[in-house]
Structure 1
Amino acid sequence: MARRTARAWVFAGPAAALLTAFFAYPLVASLYQSFTTQADGVTSWVGLAQYRRLAGDPAFLRSLTNTALVLAVQVPVMTGLALALAFLLNQSWLRFRGTWRAVYFLPAVTTLVAYAVVFQVLLKTDGGLANQALGALGLHPVDWLNDPVWARVALIASITWRWTGYNSVILLAGLQAISREQYEAAAVDGAGAVRTHLSVVLPQLRPVLLFCVITSTIGTLQLFDENYTLTRGGPADATLTPVLYLYKVGFQQSDFGYAAAIAWVVVALTGLISLAQFRLFGRGRS
């Protein structure tokens, strides 16, 4: 038994060492750092002072408000579009279904910065394709990235464009896992298309929908690349998010203790919201 255990550690040891060095240790170190502050190169223990500071920080509270707004609008809209798209891609009469699935999934494999730069060009106030289209319709141009309201709209649109196809492919896999016998049983019972989808399809898709909603929520709470590239968190902090604020505090102001506290609050919020969603929407029918 000892020899077998030793052999197992020969293979698992390097992975465990890497996991400890690059995940476990930084995790514990950042948690400790969130209870400290640095002044003149000297680290001092301050307890919960950094977290109390967060509670009264207007910029951090504004970043939470922005994230809540994006979360409340973008996740339901994107999930609804992804579900509709999955139903469409699952139709037997649709030609070139494989090609369409690849096309809609393509934005998900585009690098975050690349697609954000594309949207920055599309949404330019002067000469951007979006404003050119509005001009062709006789409408006034929109200052997409410099107006607080439209900057949020642009951010939500860019995220929705990138992740709708990704979630639709996941939902499509869930649709294809539903056996044909269940559709036939519903037809025998006299259920129409609407009743079949409400009573058979959606209940079967509940776990897949829950997965899409939770992962989309986590992604929104960790939002950084899109708003950093498009607006740098502006205008007037309208697109500032906690992770972008963490970046500014940690790497621009070198206040790493405060940045660590922000990170752990984001982790706590992510866990609590995901747990609430799982408890609320994850109850299966007995």
Structure 2
Amino acid sequence: MGTATRAGIQAPRTPGASAAVPLDIRGGWRRRRHALAPYWFLLPYFLVFAVFWCWPIIDSALLSLQNTRVNPWGWNLAVNWRRLWVDRAFHAALGNTLTIMAIQVPVMLTLATLLAVALNSPLLKLRPIYRFAFFAPVVVSDAAYSAVFRVLFNGQFGAVNHAFAALGLPTVEWLQDPNAMLSTVMVAMTWRWTGYNAIILLAGLQSIPRDLYEAAAIDGATPFDRFFRITLPLLKPILIFCLVLSVIGTTQLFTEPWLITDRGGPGGGAETLGTYLYKQGFVSMNFGYAAAIAYTIAGMAAVLAALNLVLTRGKQA
């Protein structure tokens, strides 16, 4: 009677069969424990992330729904968001930010692309030195380079106005005139970030196979043809990456207008969303309105990030 019958007679167990199931259970638990081991190592980071990232994000969202101009603070779901539509100072800051985005970012990326092509040329000697020299402005501290540009563009004794006077051109009050202030900020940003983007684009250029250029040269393509028909199309994903990073950075722009033009300049001529957010939150102590501005900036950044995904996915397709 080695097999079970329909009457319920059980078959005899073979030696070692009683230990087979417990061993399987212990083996499965051991595998699950090994699979969970990386998450235990990541747990401290997740805790820090929850305390210093997740909770401030949730708390700022709750703040944007409160009226913080009264004591005690009270819930008013629309007071801060409604103010965004009628606040002329916010509209001016948004306009300045979009102006910088529309002028400075394309100029900077154009210069960065040309610089990357020059740094990638085999005819250039001492290329590592030039690459470091153009990347060096990023290493300089914000306060130091802002102070230098503040002195260079000083209306009375700045080197820029001295050069204009030597050439017979009229001097400009760079740190007083609203239009000139915005130009000063854009020049400073271009000086600092062109080399940074050029190094990123240079890495993209070095990933393009040289065989394509050699085949195009054999077919009689000019350097301009090779640039516009090979370099730019293959560099498009990297350009889009740099574009989105630059645009998102512009939406958060704070250091240059705050330090170079002295807190956005007279009359808010160089006011940006970042400086206006700071003034509302830490000067006027209107934290609810500042939180609404912060979420507006975050929404703009999210839209631009989504645009990056759409454009790069379309390129890959």
TM-score greater than 0.5 by the shorter chain? yes
Greater Cα offset, 265-274 or 246-255: 265-274
What residue is the counterpart of 1:92 in the other structure? Answer: 122
- When residues 282 and 143 of structure 1 are mapped into structure 2, their CA distance, relative to the original with a 3 A threshold, is farther
What is the aligned residue count? 286
Q: Deviations over 1:193-221 (max 9, x none)?
A: 11111111111101110111000101111
AA aligned to 1:189 is D
> 8 Å contact 1:206–1:282 — kept in the other structure?
no
What residue is the counterpart of 1:190 in the other structure? Answer: 220
What residue is the counterpart of 1:250 in the other structure? Answer: 281
Task: Describe how 1:257-272 pairs up with structure 2 within 5 A.
Answer: 257-272=288-303
Measure, in 2, the Cα distance between the counterparts of 1:112 and 1:77: 21
Q: Which runs of 5+ in 2 are unaligned?
A: 1-30
Deviation at 1:149, TM superposition (A): 1.1
Task: Describe how 1:144-223 pairs up with structure 2 within 5 A.
Answer: 144-223=174-253
What residue is the counterpart of 1:112 in the other structure? Answer: 142
What residue is the counterpart of 2:61 in the other structure? Answer: 31
Q: CA RMSD in A?
A: 1.7
Greater Cα offset, 230-239 or 165-174: 230-239
Greater Cα offset, 32-41 or 111-120: 32-41
Name the SS for the 2:169 alignment partner. Answer: coil
Q: What TM-score do you get using the length of structure 1 for normalisation? A: 0.95
Deviation at 1:49, TM superposition (A): 2.2
Q: Deviations over 1:94-129 (max 9, x none)?
A: 111110110000001111121111100111111111
Deviation at 1:191, TM superposition (A): 2.0
Q: Deviations over 1:60-106 (max 9, x none)?
A: 01111111111110000000000011111111111111101100000
> 8 Å contact 2:241–2:308 — kept in the other structure?
no
Measure, in 1, the Cα distance between the counterparts of 2:163 and 2:194: 23
Measure, in 2, the Cα distance between the counterparts of 1:2 and 1:42: 51
Q: Find runs of 4+ consecutive structure 1 residues off by over 4 angstroms.
A: none
Measure, in 1, the Cα distance between the counterparts of 2:87 and 2:215: 58
Measure, in 2, the Cα distance between the counterparts of 1:72 and 1:248: 24
Name the SS for the 1:284 alignment partner. Answer: helix
Matched-pair identity in %: 40
Q: What TM-score do you get using the length of structure 2 for normalisation? A: 0.86
Higher relative contact order, structure no. (Cα contacts within 8 Å, ≥ 6 residues apart): 1
What residue is the counterpart of 1:238 in the other structure? Answer: 269
When Rg is computed on C-alpha atoms for both structures, the one with the higher figure is 2
Q: Deviations over 1:121-148 (max 9, x none)?
A: 1111111111111122122321111011
The partner residue of 1:227 within 236, 252, 257 is 257
> 8 Å contact 1:101–1:169 — kept in the other structure?
yes
Name the SS for the 2:155 alignment partner. Answer: coil
